Structure 1
Amino acid sequence: MISVKNVLVLLAVAFTAYLAARGLSWTGPVAQPLVVVIALVFYLATTWLCIFWEPASTRSTPQTGAAGAGAAAASAGADGDPKALAEGIRGPVPLPAIAQVLALACAVIVPSAISVAVGAASRTEPFATWYLGGIGALMTIVMVRRRPWTAWTGIVALTVASMVWMGPLNALALGLVGSIVWVTCAQLLVFSMDRAARDTSRLTRLQRAASGWQTSQVVRQRERRVQVQKALAVAGPVLTRTVAHAGRLTDADRLEARIAEGKLRDEMRGPRLLDDAVRAELERARRRGANVTVLDEGGLDGVDEEQLGVIRAQLADALRSAASDRLYIRTSPDERVAVTVVGRSPSVGGPSDEDSVDLWLEIPHPGRA
């Protein structure tokens, strides 16, 4: 499967292989060719390990890939293209400690090994100075893998070794400056990508919050429209008759107005307690003259529709047998009790006495009683 990550990995491998291949293009005598070959193999193995190696704990996590980011770093060093690191915005994962040690060992050993192996007369030849760009590319990969201290330590080691073996001016002129610039650009790119990732995450949270607020407003508007429609359905006929009779209502009209008012209060104060059976029993109680109060104060939060159906059925049965003059129906904060129904009526002693409680019913939560 061709992807940006795979392309960047291929570019990184090809770029580092090209730098190493320069070390085999001997145009002069080489005192110890075997040492050169061993140094090249060690460099390539370490570099490709830093490109491909991800901790086992992160392989199952969806990532754009540390390898792709490392490859981007190597290739970005050559052409300065910041898009090469764009895939690392959700990665890359930090380089494991063993790979860091190998990278530092490579930065320390390879320059000296190559300089000794080619001999003093060939230390400024292209086949002997390839390590300036090679170690720079390796440290760029290490930087992208979020190990800045290791990367800069490797650059310091490269600087010291190259200046010792070929002199400060030759080292700076033959590629040391470019390696330092690569690592610096890689650090700036990683910082910029991390900042972009943070900004993206922040904008995503703000967008979700805005979407949630907008959704809640839409839901509230829908609920208000539903409530207005219910209010019109209940109170519309009463208001129409009131207007038609210029406010002169009969006793039957006044009763219908009180019942309509009660229905509207029920829908606003306790909608989760209501179904058709409960509404019918509440209307029946009001028509016989009872004063009914329904309050849902949050005691039914988290109760599913099936449990609500059981609670409503028990409430309708309780209202069907109630004969109290005042009925108080409210949800309960108790963990076991869902709804409390209290009925009060005037005591036999006379109107001066307090109403007596003639109904007390606690409807339990289904499955919690």
Structure 2
Amino acid sequence: MTVRSILSGIALAFTAYLAARSLLWTLPDTVDRGWLLVAALVIYLPITWVWILLPTRQRAAVDGGLPGPRIVPPRWAAALALLAAVVVPNAAFAAVSEAGRAQPFVTWVIGGIGALMTVVMVRRRPAVAWVGTGLMALSAAVWLGPLAALSLGLVGSLVWVAAAQLISYALDRVAHDAEQLSELQQAASAWQASQSGRQRERRLHVQRALHVAGPVLGRTIETGGNLRPSEKNSARLAEQSLRDELRSPRLLDDGVRAQIDAARRRGTIVMLFDEGGLEGLPAPALAEIRSELAGIVGEASSERLIIRTSPHHEVAVTVVGRTASEGAGADEDAVDLWREIRRPS
């Protein structure tokens, strides 16, 4: 059994108790039109119980209030509530003579409509609740007089509706704060996860750097910097590999590293530039791009290879190969390779 079902049961019992008072005609000689008392009861109970039991739908708040879903019954239910606020009090007061208007079997309508409007307020129809309360108060003041109406339950009804509005606002505020707290917790968890990922990535970079540069540095220290030509070449390749790891880690996997290292050992100058565009790509898409890049580098015969990532929505990576042309200056080389790796769909 849920809290809502318990509260609905209490509301049903309370409104039934209020309506049952209309059947206890303590002064039957003052009742001129008993059928109006019964009609008021027949109109009141179904409308009230519809409001208590009606399934609700959700919509986003657009009235400048707190953001988030609001539980809002349909408009036809609001029209029925206003109909009850007008018909039920006037029918009850019109059913008796002036001497019987202050009797409990008549004045129950003040508390009954107040209870209905309290339910309307809780169901997130504040404008309907206050309009209905105002219509009921106006009817009671016309039939009984303002002071008599206040002393016979109108004050209590007004307090009920106002308290329901304050409680509903407080609950909305609590729900809003809870939602914000949940969002902050999710953001903190995401930030922590990203930091953990970056720490793991940094550890991998450090381990790879030690793997690549460690032997060269050890040999440099051991010989006091007097390296053989082959060792100097290994040091140069290690420095270029470390630069690749810092500049373009998203382009690299073991296959791409192996092909770039083989190209450099053949004498090709390979330059990598990460200019964005690969962020957010899933792992399978990155693997496909890297596999194609490794194939291009492995087949290239250019003297210089320039590999750039691209923020273009269709092209992920551009590979340009340049080779010095015969009879041209040192800076006038020709483009002999142009390949674009498409972004996986």
Q: Is the 8 A contact 2:322 2:337 kept in 1?
A: no
The correspondence of residues 62-81 of structure 1 with structure 2, limited to 5 A, is none
Instruction: Look up the SS of the partner of 2:189 in the other structure.
Output: helix
Structure 1 residue 233 displacement after superposition = 1.2
Structure 1 residue 367 displacement after superposition = 7.5
Work out the CA distance in 1 between the residues paired with 2:221 and 2:260: 27
User: Is it true that 1:16 corresponds to 2:15 in the alignment?
Assistant: yes
Instruction: Look up the match of 1:144.
Output: 122
Q: Is the 8 A contact 1:54 1:96 kept in 2?
A: no
User: Is it true that 1:3 corresponds to 2:35 in the alignment?
Assistant: no
Instruction: Look up the match of 1:154.
Output: 132
Instruction: Look up the SS of the partner of 1:118 in the other structure.
Output: coil
Structure 1 residue 20 displacement after superposition = 0.4
Instruction: Look up the SS of the partner of 2:270 in the other structure.
Output: strand
Q: Where do 5+ consecutive residues of structure 1 fail to align?
A: 63-88
Instruction: Look up the match of 1:80.
Output: none
- Kindly provide the amino acid, as one letter, of the partner of residue 12 in structure 2: V
Work out the CA distance in 2 between the residues paired with 1:167 and 1:238: 102
Q: Is the 8 A contact 2:268 2:305 kept in 1?
A: yes
Count how many residue pairs are aligned between Structure 1 and Structure 2.
336
Describe the superposition over 1:303-351 as per-residue Cα deviations: whole angstroms up to 9, x where unpaired: 555555554444444433444433222234555554433333444448x
Instruction: Look up the match of 1:48.
Output: 49
- Kindly provide the amino acid, as one letter, of the partner of residue 9 in structure 1: S
- Kindly provide the amino acid, as one letter, of the partner of residue 356 in structure 1: D
Instruction: Look up the match of 1:276.
Output: 254
Q: Where do 5+ consecutive residues of structure 2 fail to align?
A: 60-66
- Residue from 84, 94, 114 that aligns with 1:106: 84
CA spacing shift, 1:94–1:228, aligned 2, 3 Å: same
Q: Is the 8 A contact 2:323 2:336 kept in 1?
A: no
Q: Could you tell me the percent identity over the aligned residues?
A: 50
Instruction: Look up the match of 1:365.
Output: 342
The correspondence of residues 270-309 of structure 1 with structure 2, limited to 5 A, is 270-301=248-279, 305-306=283-284, 308-309=286-287
Instruction: Look up the match of 1:36.
Output: 37
- Kindly provide the amino acid, as one letter, of the partner of residue 32 in structure 1: R
Instruction: Look up the SS of the partner of 1:93 in the other structure.
Output: strand
| Worse-superposed segment, 9-18 or 23-32 | 23-32
User: Is it true that 1:163 corresponds to 2:129 in the alignment?
Assistant: no
TM-score (norm 1): 0.80
Q: Is the 8 A contact 2:68 2:176 kept in 1?
A: no
Work out the CA distance in 2 between the residues paired with 1:226 and 1:216: 15
Instruction: Look up the match of 2:63.
Output: none
- Residue from 182, 195, 206 that aligns with 2:160: 182
TM-align CA RMSD:
2.9
TM-score (norm 2): 0.85
| Worse-superposed segment, 161-170 or 222-231 | 161-170
Q: Is the 8 A contact 2:292 2:341 kept in 1?
A: no
CA spacing shift, 1:112–1:364, aligned 2, 3 Å: closer
Structure 1 residue 353 displacement after superposition = 3.9
Instruction: Look up the match of 1:356.
Output: 333
Q: Is the 8 A contact 2:313 2:343 kept in 1?
A: no
Structure 1 residue 16 displacement after superposition = 0.3
CA spacing shift, 1:165–1:347, aligned 2, 3 Å: closer
Instruction: Look up the SS of the partner of 1:293 in the other structure.
Output: strand
Work out the CA distance in 2 between the residues paired with 1:312 and 1:213: 28
- Kindly provide the amino acid, as one letter, of the partner of residue 46 in structure 1: I
Higher relative contact order (CA 8 A, sep 6+): 1
Q: Is the 8 A contact 2:15 2:45 kept in 1?
A: yes
| Worse-superposed segment, 120-129 or 319-328 | 319-328
Instruction: Look up the SS of the partner of 1:23 in the other structure.
Output: helix
- Residue from 227, 232, 248 that aligns with 2:210: 232
